[in-house]
Amino acid sequence: MTKKGKAALIRMVSLSLVFALLFSMVIAGCAPKEPVVEPTVPPSAPTEPAPAEPQKEGGVLKLGIALKPTVLGYAAEMRTYQEFLIGSTALEPLGRHDETGQMQPWLAESWESDADAKTITVKLKKGIKFHDGTDFNAEAVKWNMDEFLNYGRAEAKDLESTDVIDEYTVRLNLVTWNSSLMDALFYFVLMTSPTAFQENDKDWAANNPIGTGPFKFASWDRDVSVKFTKFEGYWQEGQPYLDAVEWHLIADAMTAMASFRAKEVDALVNLEPGIARQIEGMGADIKKLETGLGAMAIGFAGDSINSDSPFSDVRVRKALSFAVDSEEITESILFGYAVATNQWGVPGSWSFNPAVEKYAYNPEKAKQLLAEAGYPDGFTTKLTTLNSPMEVQIMTAVQGYLADVGIDAQMELVDTAHYREITNVASDPWDGLMLYRGRGDADVVTYMPRNFSSKGLLMVNGLITTDKIDKLLVDAAAASDFNTVKQIAFELQKEIYEEQCIITPLFVLTMPVAKYPHLHDEGFNKAQASLWTPESAWIEK
Amino acid sequence: MAGFVARRLVQSVIVLIMVSFIAFSFLHLLPGDAALVILGGEATQEEILNLRQELGLDQPMWVQYGRWFTNALQGNLGRSIFHRESVISVIAKRLPVTIYLGTLALLLSILISIPAGIISAVRRGHISDSIITVAANLGMAIPIFWLGILGIYFFSLKLGWLPVMGYTSPLDNFWLSTKQAIMPVICLAVIPLATLTRQTRSSMLEVIRQDYIRTARSKGLKEKTVITRHALKNAIIPVVTLLGLQARYLVGGSILVEQIFNIPGMGRLMVSSVFDKDFPIVQGCILVVAIAIILANLVIDLSYGYLDPRIRDD
């Protein structure tokens, strides 16, 4: 063999070796785990004595979440799921939703509302202190309510003022009676220390949550972690059990899953359905939210406000709802980690109207409606969606369903900032179809006006509004008893989703949380997705 | 020499002004409103207007740039919209992390690539050359995110030797810091390692065929002396140029590696700030990276004179 030929042979052999090594590494990676043989217990083993009361105290709870908060200590600027969830490690509201979704007193002792006098009188629990050692009292509540009101938050639009009656009693004075104001304010206004705010400034307060909660704020390393330590002066006797809580902000889903698998975190919060499915079978419990409270609802809507748009015709809007199989999307793309719906909220919630048209998947009916509307051959439109994996997947499925009935929807991907801009009330109407992201809460009075009132804020620039809907929304807010509110909610659902078909709702996410069995009473997804009750959580040693 | 340095510094200032203006203009052309990113889509018009006013976003772009530029000249890079603290303090937290990991990665790549490139060139056609060449080609072809995920799978999940993610300062906990740094540093080092190896090999191959190398050998010099003192010094110039290009990673970080290993570095800071429309942070980061690249290039230009006396004489 020549010298050249020898060199070529050596090169070929070494190339083969390197590729073989690489291939074996990949194959080894894909190989199934070896079966683990569990030790067997002899059948005649003596009965064990009853286990002692578990040691609940101690331990550091490590939680993983993909979403990053922007504000953690100033309620007027806190809006997102992750801000409420992480913030509630240190901050508490006046009331909490119970497992049936009803608001119950928490920092409040009790409350009394008077629709005729347009007041809500709140008595506060005594002996509660903020983390900075100052008292939680009526002055503190007034300061928090005033900050929320003066900031211009939509949830406080019917609040006129807050009066201090005595050290532990406040009275909320309303501009007009609003049946949901109490729910909204008691949930949204997480109590923070006025003294801490005044001694520093708003920016400092936003970054330093000083509340009455079971854990004191320790540090916030942006994009990395938020850490809290046990608050020894917590008002609930004997609680909290944990020494500390660490929120790890893990942006990458694969990394989050790996850190959970490596037990670097005890729980992963707000999993994407695809990740939740992969975590199933890792020896973890997956907790789903059944109520829809605080959860995200997904759907899509056409620019019905534009008179020259095909979606200004209600028959076309109804055709959209018949064209898409939301049950199938929920099962095949979301693996059951969402609840399909045809209206606001989830089936079974108090405002869910079972009499509303179900829009069962019927492409023939959709084609017929399109033909009646003058589009027998369909039409071309734009479908704008957020450029995030789940939304793109869902809207790709929607695109396919629409193509089956002749609607050629060209997908356009936008980032969060752009999406918020084009769906904000201050913008011009969008063009074509738009991803809808809303709330899954049953409370139609607080959240529905955002999308469907002529004075709404979200997507109202592209959606039609009607006088009937406006009136029903006002009537629902003004109603003084629950049954009347419920009755009006049913009418609203019928008008918005059946008569006008303004939005095609698809599903409400169940916001899955994965946790290891050693974490007990962890307090996620009890009734409200964004309400965490960390005081009762404990880790089995 | 002083004149050369002074000329380069003046040029650098002009480049920095241009870079900052172009970056500012492009950021403002991007769709999306920072106020809405902070407030959420359900914000009222009143809230949006108030926040835009508070952040100075209601001013025309040239006014915003002028204000930023004037402040930057005084060493004030502004205040982050999201972090609610000064840009300098935000960057001061992220930059050391990126520099630390980047320096380790660059050292690792230099320590391996230059000897590997020399061996590969000197032993051209041998099995060691083939292995090094194939490995270098693989290094350039392997996607970093894939390598990172594979590393996590083997070393964290299968073997349990290394943590999946995180960063700890070596001053706080040296052992944990080292364990956390191993995989990111390897991932960061792979591409420069491969590139530098290939460049060293090809430069050395070119040089070792020169007459003066043959002369050196015929003089009876030891092969080691011929390679290190005569060949390498001449072959290293293109390698040093390439090293200068790596400077941007030293301060700019790598978004992929930082994302996979959840490291709070400059890459993630820049990308998340672009999506958040946190203009002051993006401007500050671009300025820091631009300064680092300009300085690195200056140092490299000066090093040419040291490495090749002909350039120094010119």
Interface touch B262/A222, C-beta < 8 Å: no
- How would you class A38 by CB atoms within 10 Å of its CB: exposed for 0-12, middle for 13-18, buried for 19 or more? exposed
Interface touch B32/A14, C-beta < 8 Å: no
* C-alpha–C-alpha distance, residues B162 and B168, integer Å: 13
Interface touch B82/A426, C-beta < 8 Å: no
How confident is the model at residue A401, as a pLDDT? 97
CB B300 within 8 A of CB B244: yes
**Residue in chain B nearest A78 by alpha carbon:** B39
How confident is the model at residue B56, as a pLDDT? 84
**Percentage of the residues of chain B whose pLDDT score is greater than 90:** 44
Determine the average pLDDT of the residues in A409-421.
92
pLDDT single digits (tens) B204-246: 999 988 898 889 889 888 888 898 888 888 888 888 888 887 7
* C-alpha–C-alpha distance, residues A497 and A358, integer Å: 10
Where residue B301 falls among pLDDT bands split at 50, 70, 90?
confident
pLDDT single digits (tens) B263-294: 999 999 998 898 888 888 999 999 998 888 88
Q: A200 pLDDT exceeds 60?
A: yes
Task: Give the gap in angstroms from C-alpha B111 to the nearest C-alpha of chain A.
Answer: 22
Question: A226: which chain B residues are within 8 Å (Cβ-Cβ)?
Answer: none
Q: From the candidates B149, B165, B167, B275, which should be mutated to test the interface with A, based on the most A CB atoms within 10 A?
A: B165
Looking at this protein, which amino acid is placed at residue A326?
Answer: S
Q: How far is CA A478 from CA A19, A176, A250, A355, A358, in A?
A: 73, 7, 44, 24, 29
Closest CA to A464 of A419, A422, A495: A495
What ranges do the domains of chain B cover? 99-286
pTM: 0.84
Q: Which of A147-151, A165-169, B248-252 has the highest mean pLDDT?
A: A165-169
Q: B148 pLDDT exceeds 90?
A: yes
On the question of a cis peptide bond just before residue A240, with omega within 30 degrees of 0, the verdict is yes
How confident is the model at residue A507, as a pLDDT? 96
pLDDT single digits (tens) A438-463: 988 888 888 899 899 998 888 999 99
* C-alpha–C-alpha distance, residues B74 and A67, integer Å: 36
How confident is the model at residue A14, as a pLDDT? 47
Interface touch A457/B43, C-beta < 8 Å: yes
Q: B309 pLDDT exceeds 50?
A: yes
Interface touch B47/A152, C-beta < 8 Å: yes
Q: A57 pLDDT exceeds 80?
A: yes
pLDDT single digits (tens) A361-394: 999 999 999 999 999 999 999 999 999 889 999 9
Q: Give the closest of A222, A248, A255 to B83, CB-based.
A: A222
Question: A421: which chain B residues are within 8 Å (Cβ-Cβ)?
Answer: 31-33, 36
Mode of pairing for the β-strands spanning A338-340 and A504-509: antiparallel
DSSP three-state, residue A426: coil
How confident is the model at residue A425, as a pLDDT? 84
Q: Which two tokens stand for residue B283?
A: 């401007």
Higher pLDDT, B215 or A19: B215
How confident is the model at residue A4, as a pLDDT? 52
How confident is the model at residue B244, as a pLDDT? 80
pLDDT single digits (tens) A107-120: 999 999 999 999 99
Q: How far is CA A333 from CA A347, A397, A514, B90, in A?
A: 20, 9, 19, 39
Which residues are CB-contacts of A485 (< 8 A; sequence separation ≥ 6)? Answer: A179, A180, A445, A476, A479
* C-alpha–C-alpha distance, residues A280 and A282, integer Å: 6
Q: How far is CA A214 from CA A100, A130, B281, in A?
A: 24, 10, 34
**Residue in chain B nearest A223 by alpha carbon:** B264
Question: B164: which chain A residues are within 8 Å (Cβ-Cβ)?
Answer: 255, 258-259, 262, 264
Domains annotated on chain A, with CATH: 60-210 (3.90.76.10), 296-509 (3.10.105.10)
Interface touch B134/A13, C-beta < 8 Å: no
**Maximum C-alpha span of chain A:** 105
**Residue in chain B nearest A387 by alpha carbon:** B275
* A42 secondary structure, DSSP code: P
CB B148 within 8 A of CB B162: no
Q: Give the closest of A11, A206, A420 to B130, CB-based.
A: A11
Question: B277: which chain A residues are within 8 Å (Cβ-Cβ)?
Answer: 417
Question: B90: which chain A residues are within 8 Å (Cβ-Cβ)?
Answer: 222
Where residue A43 falls among pLDDT bands split at 50, 70, 90?
very low
Q: A477 pLDDT exceeds 60?
A: yes
How confident is the model at residue A37, as a pLDDT? 34
Query: If you classify domain B99-286 with CATH, what class do you get?
Result: mainly alpha
**Residue in chain B nearest A14 by alpha carbon:** B131
**Residue in chain B nearest A5 by alpha carbon:** B125
Q: B146 pLDDT exceeds 80?
A: yes
Q: Give the closest of B33, B130, B262 to A14, CB-based.
A: B130
pLDDT single digits (tens) B152-196: 999 999 999 999 999 999 999 999 999 999 999 999 999 999 999
Q: A48 pLDDT exceeds 70?
A: no
Reported ipTM: the value is 0.83
Backbone CA torsion sign across A84, A87, A93, A98:
positive
Closest CA to A342 of A459, A201, A502, A484: A502
